[in-house]
Amino acid sequence: MVCPIVQILTPLYNEEKCFELYVERVERVLISRPDVEYRCLLIDDGSIDGTWELIQRQCRASRRFRGLRLSRNFGAHAAETAGLDLCDADAFVILPADLQDPPEAVPSLVEAWRQGADVVFARRRMREDSRRRVLASKAFEALLRRFAMPKGSKFATGGFLLMDRKVVDCVRQMREANRLIFGLVAWTGFRQAVVDYDRQRRVRGRSAWSAGRMIKSMYDGLIGFSGAIPRAVTLLGALFALIGLIAALYFLLNAIFFSPLPGWSTIMVILSLFFGIVFLILGAICEYLLRIYVETTRRPLYFIAADTADDGLGAAACNATRGAGRSMPESFIASRSHHCRGGPTRC
């Protein structure tokens, strides 16, 4: 019986404090299993600590590991895109390195996949985070579910999920610069399943997932997958136009039948209010124009500065191809004479 190959994709940014624990857990829980062949791709997203040196050492120690180093910090979603572009397997699991999403939950995702699901989302049943972070995450998920995600999608926020190879082929075709990987995966459709797990507290180091990044992800999700913002701005403009009409009628009638209000205060308040609304609408328009500009520049999503496979390390994790014997598109791999590889702008 041929074991399926499952590729673990892990983006890392300044994770040297968690790295040894991550490797120990992955090897003990996943690599050692006989029923599935797990291989691990570690993507260093421009770390400034010793993360890349630890990745290189691990790739020398085990052929199940492969390491990529991006030329700078492009962000977790770009790092995950690099992993999806450059490896092949029967299924892919995105697993963060901080161990808050435990490797012990991965076999449950794989089991749901083997039972027929093409996408398996890991949903947090319980999480050891602050109340503020939990409430913000629930609000984020509720907004996306209501305004952005396809109806009937079983998506869950967070990057812990499994994708079948055919889903990855679809995600590879989507090359927008402002990316939300779980949103792109949910948008593809296919057969989806959910596995509940308990999210754990970060064991070491500090999370780079700040409130600002959460707000940006929410913003990207609403702008990239929903028309709610332009519709809301339109309704807001209509509402204040109605308020302005009512105010104009009031002041006209007041001037005719009563004594007019003295001074500039009323005029200035009204002007300030309406100029604020105008600038709000202009800001929304500029945001969409900026994103159109960014997409039309067609810049690569990432550059790869180093690859352990180029040094003969992590060869097994590199050649995770099954059945179809499919090679990666030529656009994914630039000449090594340039010492970097650029992520494609289009598949």
Predicted confidence (pLDDT) per residue in 214-269, tens digit: 666 666 666 666 666 677 777 777 777 777 677 767 766 766 676 665 655 567 66
Question: Which residues, including other chains, have CB under 8 Å from residue 277's CB and lie 6 or more apart?
Answer: 236, 237, 240
Sheet holding 5-12, edge to edge: 192-199, 119-127, 161-164, 91-94, 5-12, 37-44, 65-70, 303-307, 341-342
Alpha helix ranges (H) inside the chain:
16-26, 51-61, 76-86, 106-114, 131-147, 165-172, 181-188, 211-225, 228-257, 265-297, 315-318
The whole-angstrom separation of Cα 248 and Cα 66 is 68
pLDDT of residue 38: 92
Instruction: Kindly report the pTM of this predicted structure.
Output: 0.68
242-261 b/e (C-beta count within 10 Å ≥ 16 → b): eeeeebeeeeeeeeeeeeee
> Residue 117: which of 58, 71, 161 has the closest Cα?
161
pLDDT of residue 43: 93
pLDDT of residue 293: 74
pLDDT of residue 162: 92
pLDDT of residue 133: 65
* Residue ranges of the chain with per-residue pLDDT less than 50: 315, 318-347
pLDDT of residue 331: 35
pLDDT of residue 70: 92
Torsion sign (Cα): 28, 31, 32, 36: positive
160-174 residue pLDDT tens = 899 999 899 998 888
Q: What is the DSSP string of 124-139?
A: EEEE-S-HHHHHHHHH
DSSP letter (8 states) at residue 298:
T
